């Protein structure tokens, strides 16, 4: 076999490629056709703004009506890959054109950043890549990122009545955003986060290469478990470990209103002691909302609802709460026993008796205008504090709070084990929520101002330095990146809130795998402009591959060689040698680096 070795210095021969383009759409389609082996398929997966299906495709995964208006920025192109190679081609071609790429799986981003942008952009819409393959022997599953959680739960249940997976209670949420952002649900205290059960992943990197856990390396695999996917590449699929669920689980919902019972404050106060410390099988979510009072007409009051998941039967649950939380006065009649899949349906708010096949429904029939924010609470809020809070919530009128208890398994996993940092030390996470159902700038201003006001009232009660936030509860109020020269400083503002101490490692990974910040958005992980060595290292592999491609083309043109096939060119991995050289002669490597940067400035190569 004729093979060609390419050492590092050949990189220097690389010419600069400049592509002239007629229109973005035509260039893009042309490039996609060139990049895929079935060019005739390309027209089926690319939607321009003039395509009659464009609006339907765009709207199919908009889950927040705020971003469903005529003034919402729209993508130049939507690509809906049906094969992994389409994703690779989309990354390469979008990069060639130099336009922004947004990646969408389930579209549940609270700020819509998977499908809107202030600059021209393309949506890579993953909904066709949604296969779920369950391996019963291993108790594992490979899930493509365009699948929904409802589909995952349903497919697990089809195969086994004793397996499950810990993730969100909302079945239409997409795998791509949910797992990469650290997803959690009602088994959090027993089993931790979704990312705590990820075994492997497939990702398309900035060079259009498909990587798995092995080839992406420890750092990148760590980053896409809680650090979000969109800063690092396109996640094709995750391999997860399934968990065992009991044949019977128990749920209940208890509601108390302040105007009917004085002791609601006592219950909320006690909840803060019990919910994060009780048996790990018990997860008690608490919702606190202002509502119209039935007792005092024309006035508002506070309603507190406790929704509970218990991995066990009703008798055990009643006995447990009788001991830990007698103030609730829970009776066996108030508890519903069911199978795990029925509990999934119950948590998704469907009526008792609804078939689990409802979990396959991708089109929820309600759509709201909404805004969310988040906080972490590390010390209990005093009774006086709570009573003061009720008054503020009643004044504001609409914004509610969800308290999601931590503890249990969350206390056992180190904050640096995955990119998701909020572990031991947190009693509960708060989600702020406000929904409304009419379009209007004034209305939106009112409600977003209201939720921000409540967030500001909460300052004394929540985590400080940083005031932490949950990445999957996307909130652009805590900082935005313009991805220009101040991108590192801008990224640090929201980055340390979402990721605490893990932010700096995320920046390192980002700088190494996407040094030119192709995968960027309003809250992506920035690169570190001072980490030149990382940039150089990352470019090393890219250049080697470019050289290989270059030789491939030249060999087909030159008379002196018989044309080569790509598999006849071996890119020799001399990087380990490079690394030991670096150790030996750190100073010299630095010189090389500076030289490289100088040539770059002179546009000598890309
Ligand atoms: C009704 C509702 C209920 C929710 N409940 C919960 C809950 O119980 N627990 C919880 O943890 N969260 C919950 N969330 C938040 C949810 O987990 C996040 O919004 C999550 O990011 C949604 O994933 P998605 O794929 O649907 O979203 P998308 O909007 O498609 O994506 C979200 C982000 O991930 C990126 N992304 C998506 N797919 C990929 C991919 N394949 N590769 C790389 N990047 C990708 C996007 O670019 C975007 O930045 C809820 C959200 C909603 C709207
Ligand atoms: C696609 O390939 C054709 C012929 O091989 C070439 O002329 C054209 O420039 C390529 N277009 C793009 C966008 O890569
Ligand atoms: C978006 O608008 C269309 C047309 O008005 C509507 O049918 C659809 O339900 C809306 N979706 C959301 C999430 O608001
Ligand atoms: C709370 O108050 C209600 C009536 O106001 C009463 O029935 C109930 O027993 C009280 N609970 C506790 C734990 O004090
Ligand atoms: C739910 O429905 C089943 C029958 O479909 C019934 O036996 C059960 O009592 C119902 N449970 C509740 C809490 O309504
Ligand atoms: C917004 O709020 C102000 C004051 O709270 C109120 O006067 C106004 O009517 C509200 N506007 C809308 C459109 O609801």
**DSSP string across 121-168:** EEEEE-TT---EEEETTTTEEEEETT-BHHHHHHHHHHH-SSEE----
The phi, psi pair for 271, rounded to 5°, reads: -55, -40
CA angle (471 as vertex; 470, 476 as ends), nearest 5? 105
Contact 19, 71 (CB under 8 A): no
pLDDT tens digit sequence for 132-190: 999 999 999 999 999 999 999 999 999 999 999 999 999 999 999 999 999 999 999 99
Compute the distance between CA of residue 566 and CA of residue 549 in angstroms, rounded to an integer.
7
Helix axes 532-557, 502-513, angle to 10 degrees: 20
Architecture of domain 132-244: 2-Layer Sandwich (3.30)
Angstrom distance (rounded) from CA 531 to CA 392: 47
Distances (CA, A) of 194 to 127, 175, 185, 197, 414: 20, 10, 8, 6, 15
The whole-number average pLDDT for the span 225-239 is 98
Q: Which residue has the tokens 């075994």?
A: 199
- What is the distance between the alpha carbons of residues 81 and 129, in angstroms, rounded to a whole number? 7
Closest alpha carbon to 86 in 140, 25, 44: 44
CATH assignment of 8-125, among 3.30.43.10, 3.10.350.10, 3.40.50.300, 1.10.150.120: 3.30.43.10
CA-nearest residue for atom 12, ligand 5, is 352
pLDDT digits 0-9 by tens, 74-127: 999 999 999 999 999 999 999 999 999 999 999 999 999 999 999 999 999 999
81 token code pair: 């890959």
Strand duo 198-204 + 210-211: pairing: antiparallel
| Ligand 1 pocket by Cβ (under 6 Å) | 63, 102-110, 113-114, 126, 145, 168-170, 173-174, 176-178, 180-181, 183-185, 228-230, 234-235, 472, 521
Alpha helices, DSSP H, located in 181-339: 188-191, 213-223, 264-274, 314-324
Q: Is the pLDDT of residue 565 over 80?
A: no
Count how many residues are written for the chain.
606
pLDDT per residue as tens digits for the range 386-406: 999 999 999 999 999 999 999
Enclosing H/E stretch for 243: strand 243-244
pLDDT score, position 128: 98
Beta partners for 401?
A: 288, 432
For the chain, what is the mean pLDDT? 91
Q: Three-state SS for 85?
A: helix
* Domain ranges across the chain: 8-125, 132-244, 249-337+368-461, 543-601
Q: Which CATH number fits domain 249-337+368-461: 3.40.50.300, 3.40.462.20, 3.30.1330.90, 3.40.50.620?
A: 3.40.462.20
pLDDT reported for residue 162:
97
- Low-confidence winner among 224-228, 237-241, 309-313, 568-572 (lowest mean pLDDT): 568-572
34 Cα nearest atom in ligand 2: 1
- Report the alpha-carbon angle 382-388-391, nearest 5: 145
Catalytic residue selected from 473, 488, 494, 498: 473
Contacts of 587 (CB under 8 A, 6+ apart): none
Atom of ligand 5 nearest to the CA of 352: 1
Cα(218)–Cα(173) distance, rounded to whole angstroms?
27
Phi first, then psi, for residue 444 (nearest 5°) are: -60, -40
Chain position carrying tokens 């801008």? 490
The model's pLDDT over 28-65, given as tens digits with 9 standing for 90+, comes to: 999 999 999 889 999 999 999 999 999 999 999 999 99
Buried b (16+ CB within 10 A) or exposed e, 124-160: bbbbebbebebeeeebbbbbbbbbbbbbbbbbbbeee
**Ligand 1 pocket test target in 129, 131, 143, 168 with most atoms within 8 Å of CB:** 168
CA end-to-end span of the chain: 32
Say which residues have a Cβ less than 8 Å from residue 211's Cβ, sequence separation at least 6: 202, 203, 204, 205, 220, 233
Q: For ligand 3, say whether the CB of 62 is within 6 Å of any of its atoms.
A: yes
Task: Give the whole-angstrom CA distance, residue 527 versus residue 487.
Answer: 8
């Amino acid at each position: 076999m004729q093979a060609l070795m390419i050492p590092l210095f050949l990189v220097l021969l690389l010419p600069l490629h400049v592509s002239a383009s007629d229109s973005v759409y035509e260039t893009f389609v042309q490039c996609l056709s060139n990049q895929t082996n079935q060019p005739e398929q390309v027209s089926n997966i690319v939607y321009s703004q003039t395509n009659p299906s464009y609006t339907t495709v765009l709207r199919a995964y908009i889950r927040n009506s705020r971003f469903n208006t005529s003034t919402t920025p729209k993508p130049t192109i939507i690509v809906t890959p049906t094969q992994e190679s389409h994703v690779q081609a989309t990354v390469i071609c979008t990069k060639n054109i130099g336009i922004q790429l947004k990646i969408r799986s389930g579209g549940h981003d609270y700020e819509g950043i998977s499908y809107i942008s202030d600059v021209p952009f393309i949506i890579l819409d993953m909904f066709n890549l949604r296969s779920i393959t369950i391996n019963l022997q291993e108790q594992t599953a490979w899930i493509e990122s365009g699948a929904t959680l409802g589909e995952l739960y349903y497919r697990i249940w089809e195969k086994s009545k004793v397996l499950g997976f810990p993730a969100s209670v909302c079945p239409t949420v997409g795998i791509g955003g949910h797992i990469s952002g650290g997803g959690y649900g009602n088994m959090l205290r027993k089993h931790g986060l979704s990312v705590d059960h990820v075994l492997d992943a497939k990702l398309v990197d900035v060079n259009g290469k498909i990587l798995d856990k092995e080839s992406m390396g420890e750092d990148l695999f760590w980053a896409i478990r809680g650090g979000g996917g969109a800063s690092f590449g396109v996640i094709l699929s995750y391999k997860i470990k399934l968990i065992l669920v009991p044949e019977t689980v128990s749920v209940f919902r208890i509601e108390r209103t302040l105007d009917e019972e004085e002791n609601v404050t006592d219950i909320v106060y006690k909840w803060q002691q019990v919910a994060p410390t009780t048996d790990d099988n018990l997860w008690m979510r608490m919702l606190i909302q202002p509502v119209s009072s039935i007792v005092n007409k024309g006035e508002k009051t506070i309603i507190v609802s406790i929704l509970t998941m218990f991995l066990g039967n009703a008798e055990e649950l009643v006995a447990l709460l009788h001991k830990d939380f007698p103030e609730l006065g829970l009776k066996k009649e108030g508890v519903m026993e069911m199978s795990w899949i029925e509990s999934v349906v119950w948590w998704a708010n469907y009526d008792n008796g609804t078939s689990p096949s409802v979990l396959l429904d991708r089109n929820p029939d309600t759509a709201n205008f909404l805004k969310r924010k988040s906080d972490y609470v590390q010390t209990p809020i005093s009774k006086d504090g709570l009573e003061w809070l009720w008054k503020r919530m009643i004044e504001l009128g609409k914004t509610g709070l969800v308290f999601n208890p931590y503890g249990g398994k969350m206390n056992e996993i180190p904050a640096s084990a995955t990119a998701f940092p909020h572990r031991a030390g947190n009693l509960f996470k708060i989600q702020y929520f406000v929904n409304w159902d009419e379009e209007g700038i004034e209305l939106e201003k009112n409600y977003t101002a209201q939720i921000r006001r409540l967030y500001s009232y909460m300052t004394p009660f929540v985590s400080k330095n940083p005031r932490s936030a949950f990445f999957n509860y996307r909130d652009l109020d805590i900082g935005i990146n313009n991805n220009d020269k101040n991108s590192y400083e801008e990224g640090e503002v929201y980055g340390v809130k979402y990721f605490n101490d893990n932010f700096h490692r995320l920046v390192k990974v980002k700088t190494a795998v996407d040094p030119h910040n192709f995968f960027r958005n309003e809250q992506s992980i920035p690169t570190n402009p001072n980490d030149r060595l990382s940039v150089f290292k990352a470019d090393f592999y890219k250049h080697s591959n470019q050289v290989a491609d270059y030789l491939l083309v030249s060999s087909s043109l030159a008379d002196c060689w018989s044309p080569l096939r790509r598999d006849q060119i071996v890119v020799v991995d001399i990087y380990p040698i490079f690394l030991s050289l670096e150790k030996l002669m750190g100073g010299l490597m630095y010189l090389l680096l500076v030289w490289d940067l100088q040539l770059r400035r002179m546009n000598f190569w890309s």
